[in-house]
Amino acid sequence: MSRQSTPGLAPSHRALAILKKLSLVVFVTRMLKGDEDKERREKYLGYYDTFWSGPNVRKELEAYAKADDDFRYEILQGFIPKPLVGKVTTGYGPPWKRSDTFFTDFKAHYPSERILHETDKSLIICNHASHDVRLYKEDIDPTGTDKSPAAGMSYMHLLVIPVARVYNAVALEDGDCIEEMREHFKTFWREPDSKEKIIAAINETMDRRYKEILTAYDKAEASAETSDATEGHNNPSEERRKHLEDVMVKCRQYASQCADLLRKMDQEYSDYMGFHPHPTTSVGHLHMHVLFMDRPEFRTNSTSAHDGKTIPARVVLRVINEKRNASDKNPDTKSR
């Protein structure tokens, strides 16, 4: 059977027409990305300028870098909650200090298994929250409330954090730290066992959330009244647990599908890296989100609650470089 051809077009002309269509798609995609980058740039620039307009901001940054627990922080945020100061909440390492965040001195506070890869300047870890929003819905969460925004932003949601005490992206005055974190992740991604390490970490995070829910169910049942059970009524806790198991089956099936897709991805990472700028972040220590922002197949069961505040790393670097160039031309701006 001969292949049907487009009437009036020779093979070479058909190929040219296809190339023109592809070029148009690329052009439109770049235009849309350019518009999005412009919008994100203005948003990040607003956060950046507001942060640096704060009184004594440089003193606060120096205090955080020095682990000053006596300093009174007025601008910086995202520290360890006061009730946890002086306690060990991870089952590992020294008690939290007042000037700590959950990512500060990470190696001292968490077991080495939590670190997927490291250099002398940065660490790659998996996001603490599970990627699957279904484990945070009101029908599953032990409190009976919808905590969907607490879930991860995509199936793969990793973080790259500096080893040194560095505050949020709005506090950076050069892009060296971000460049190192980006190159670190790209190097890790190219390693032959990187994807299996990522998949194992994602599964461990999902199982940890599952165990957290079960533990909370156990505590609730231990303190609950047993009047219904003694009267012969159905035990609602058994129904709840069965529902959790049903949901977990679906979560694991979806995770398995995503893992298969992840294994087939290119060796060169070209997807999303971004930041949540102060004051929109919950953890003050600098951390770069690495995830699949524009791949719906990896985001089907993840939260989109934080999309609006996520600024691409390329945009952050552009603004930082613009600011640095401006300060080089006008040294007076460096005194902020």
Residues 6+ apart with CB under 8 A from 274: 288, 289, 291, 293, 310, 311, 312, 313, 316
Please report, rounded to a whole number, the percentage of residues in the chain having pLDDT higher than 70: 84
**Residue 335 in this model has a pLDDT that exceeds 60:** no
Please write the tens of the pLDDT for every residue from 42-52: 999 999 999 99
Domain assignment of residue 123, yes or no: yes
Q: What is the DSSP letter of 89?
A: -
Distance between CA atoms of residues 75 and 207, nearest Å: 36
Domain assignment of residue 45, yes or no: yes
**The pLDDT value given to residue 326:** 82
**The pLDDT value given to residue 27:** 39
How many domains is the chain built from?
1
- Concatenate the DSSP letters of all residues of 238-261 into one string: HHHHHHHHHHHHHHHHHHHHHHHH
Domain assignment of residue 17, yes or no: no
- Report which of residues 307 and 11 the model is more confident about: 307
Distance between CA atoms of residues 85 and 107, nearest Å: 18
Please write the tens of the pLDDT for every residue from 136-146: 999 999 999 99
Please write the tens of the pLDDT for every residue from 157-200: 999 999 999 999 999 999 999 999 999 999 999 999 999 999 99
Domain assignment of residue 176, yes or no: yes
Average pLDDT over residues 49-59: 95
**Residue 234 in this model has a pLDDT that exceeds 90:** no
Domain assignment of residue 10, yes or no: no
Distance between CA atoms of residues 207 and 200, nearest Å: 11
**The pLDDT value given to residue 31:** 42
Q: What is the CA radius of gyration of the chain?
A: 24
**The pLDDT value given to residue 188:** 97
Average pLDDT over residues 267-281: 91
Domain assignment of residue 22, yes or no: no
Domain assignment of residue 203, yes or no: yes
Question: Residue 290: which H helix or E strand, with range?
Answer: strand 288-291
Please write the tens of the pLDDT for every residue from 295-318: 999 999 999 999 999 999 999 999
Domain assignment of residue 74, yes or no: yes
Average pLDDT over residues 89-98: 93
Q: Which residues form the domain of 267?
A: 34-222+235-335
